[in-house]
Amino acid sequence: MELMVPIDNQSRSPLYEQIYQYMKEEIRGGRMAAGSRLPSTRILAANLKVSRSTTQMAYEQLLSEGYIEALPCRGYFVCRIEELVEVHKKEESPFSEKQGQRKEPYLVDFSPRGIDLDSFPFNTWRKLSRNTLVDDNKEMFAVGDPQGEYGLRAAIGDYLHSARGVNCRPEQILIGAGSEYLLMLLSQLLGRGTGIALENPTYRQAYRVLKSLGHQVFPVKMDRYGMEIGALEESKAMAAYVMPSHQYPTGIVVPVKRRQELLGWACKKADRYVIEDDYDSEFRYKGRPIPALQGMDQAGKVIYLGTFSRSIAPAIRVGFMVLPEPLLARYRMQAGFYACTVSRIDQNVLYHFITGGYYERHLNRMRAVYKGKHDALLGGLKELENIFQIRGEYAGIHVLLTHRKGMEEEKLVERAAQAGVKVYGMSGSVIGEEKDLVPSTVILGYASLKEEEICKGCRLLNEAWR
């Protein structure tokens, strides 16, 4: 599908907002048919003569609101409008037309999904891409290793060992185009009949993927230390999907004792596994980074998942999975014939980005950038400390605000929207029937905002919530 989006360079609305609004209205009006494939962010950017980060931000917003979906290895597609209507009926979002949907764009959007694309190392990435294709490097266009290029796997293994305490050989690492693909591959290894326990609340995309693959998903409640082991035992699950270094969205860091209990649970039965999603451990602002659970595993019970989407950019679409030895043998028997879903060109660029020291320098720079935004947000929220409890402020790129007197989440979101600020209710991350599991709580992400936008948003929220 070719899109001709009308761009008004004289408008006060950012370009990505114009693209987002136009595409949203086209989808809602039925002028973009359900199931239609959209152009890639790169092609759309070239057609509209804008930066790729602009189209990426527009697509990210459409993804987060459910107007489009990203299918691994295929691209972006328009969602069915019936599904959108059904969601509105069930959840009755404060932004629906029934409750007076905003027609103008938000002044500040505290999305927890975004990253700082302004800090992407374009010059370095461009140089490494040119070097990869120098002298008509034909090898890059041939079929590569199904698990991913050995050099990249070795570089990732070295990084994981030094930065996260992960113990693995390059042979245990699989490269894939995003966590969704890796979860689909893992599903085949575990078997569709394997019940999987998820922390509640949790990363909803993982829940959707596992549910769509036919797994029975068990929501397991958490205490202040993470997933409750007693409730996990009662669930009858044979795998537990956890985020021990920085749980999303609660921000809980699972202590050593609970980690040992998780490993103990997995060791009780031969086919039990812990799936460790280490999605954003690079960003911590107090103390040393928390070592991975996988480094404590002596029995081959932890499956480790990681991604470069948060630390570099979502469009890189490179994730990795470290399989324990028992599952590695099963992978080679059952799925070793699948081709790698990441191009050799992209793998080679990433390999040089890591081994050339660029990745480490980029992470150091991004930690400083996010620390500045983090401090700006906490400073802006200081006036609300007597009204809200603030949590999750020492790691990641979002914080949680819980109203001390129990104001309803819907009302908090609605008042913020009336002030031109978009915040996200915690109920969107809850799975199962108990939607009010974490009441009176909203999520504020800050990675994609400039510091002045963060300060402006905080001023507006101070007025809206008082």
pLDDT at 74: 86
d(CA 175, CA 149): 8
- Residue 443 token pair: 């999520």
Mean pLDDT of 113-125: 90
Q: Are residues 314 and 394 in the same domain?
A: no
Q: Say if CB 278 and CB 267 are below 8 A apart.
A: no
Please tell me whether residues 374 and 330 are part of one structural domain: no
**Would you say 200 and 238 are in contact if contact means Cβ atoms under 8 Å apart?**
no
pLDDT in tens, 152-163: 999 999 999 999
**CA 29 – CA 318 distance, rounded (Å):** 34
Whether 22 is covered by a domain: the verdict is: yes
Q: Which pLDDT band, with edges at 50, 70 and 90, does 268 fall under?
A: very high
pLDDT at residue 287 in the model: 60
Q: Within a domain: residue 10?
A: no
Pair (277, 309) in one structural domain: yes
Q: Is residue 189 in a domain?
A: yes
Q: Which of 49, 69, 57, 75 is nearest to 20 (CA)?
A: 57
Tokens of 403: 């109203």
- Name the residue among 306, 323, 321, 312 with its Cα closest to residue 350: 312
> What CATH number has the domain bearing residue 38?
1.10.10.10
Question: Which residues sit opposite 227 in a β-bridge?
Answer: 222
Contact 154, 322 (CB under 8 A): no
| Cross-strand partners of 390 | 401
Radius of gyration of the chain (CA): 22
User: Are 241 and 334 contained in the same domain?
Assistant: yes
- pLDDT (tens digit, 9 = 90+) per residue, 307-323? 998 889 888 889 999 99
One domain, residues 150 and 251:
yes
Of 70, 98, 126, the one marking the end of a domain is 98
Q: Which amino acid, one-letter code, is at 389? A: Q
Lowest mean pLDDT among 152-161, 288-297, 338-347, 443-452: 288-297
Q: Residue 331 and residue 340: Cα distance in Å, rounded?
A: 13
pLDDT per position as a tens digit, 407-434? 999 999 999 999 999 999 999 999 988 8
- End-to-end Cα, the chain, rounded Å: 47
Residue 127 falls inside a structural domain:
no
**Domain extent at residue 59:** 15-98
Q: Which residue type does 1 have?
A: M
Q: How far apart are CA 79 and CA 120, in angstroms?
A: 29
Average pLDDT over every residue of 316-334:
93
Compute the C-alpha angle 447/158/351, nearest 5°. Answer: 70
Do 66 and 164 fall into the same domain?
no
Q: Do 293 and 399 fall within a single domain?
A: no
- What tens digit of pLDDT does each residue of 296-309 get? 999 999 999 999 98
* Domain end call among 329, 356, 383: 356
Residues 173 and 256 in one domain: yes
Kindly state the average pLDDT of the residues 137-166.
91
| CATH number for the domain that contains residue 423 | 3.90.1150.10
Q: What is the mean pLDDT of the chain?
A: 88
Determine the Cα–Cα distance for residues 163 and 159; give it in Å rounded to an integer.
Answer: 6
Please check whether residue 115 lies inside any domain of the structure: no
pLDDT at position 135 is 66
The whole-angstrom separation of Cα 220 and Cα 276 is 15
Same domain, 369 and 431: yes
Cβ neighbours, 10 Å, residue 412: 24
Query: In terms of domains, do 383 and 445 share one?
Result: yes
Residue that wins the pLDDT comparison between 253 and 227: 227
pTM: 0.76
Residue 291 pLDDT > 50, yes or no? yes
Residue 250 to residue 393: CA distance in whole angstroms: 10
pLDDT value at residue 457: 96
CATH number of domain containing 220: 3.40.640.10
Which of 322, 310, 154, 190 lies closest to 246, judged by CA?
310
- The stretch 269-278 carries a mean pLDDT of 96
Place of tokens 């050995």: 150
Q: Mark which of 356, 375, 409 sits at the end of a domain.
A: 356
Residue 105 domain flag: no
Q: Are residues 234 and 290 in the same domain?
A: yes
Q: Is residue 1 part of a domain?
A: no
Same domain, 313 and 385: no
Domain count along the chain: 3
In 228-257, which positions are buried (b, 16+ CB within 10 angstroms) versus exposed (e)?
Answer: bbebbeebebbbbbbbbbbbbbbbbbbeee
Inside any domain, residue 187: yes
Which residue type occupies 382?
K
Mean pLDDT throughout 228-242? 96
Of 280-289, 339-348, 453-462, the one with minimum mean pLDDT is 280-289
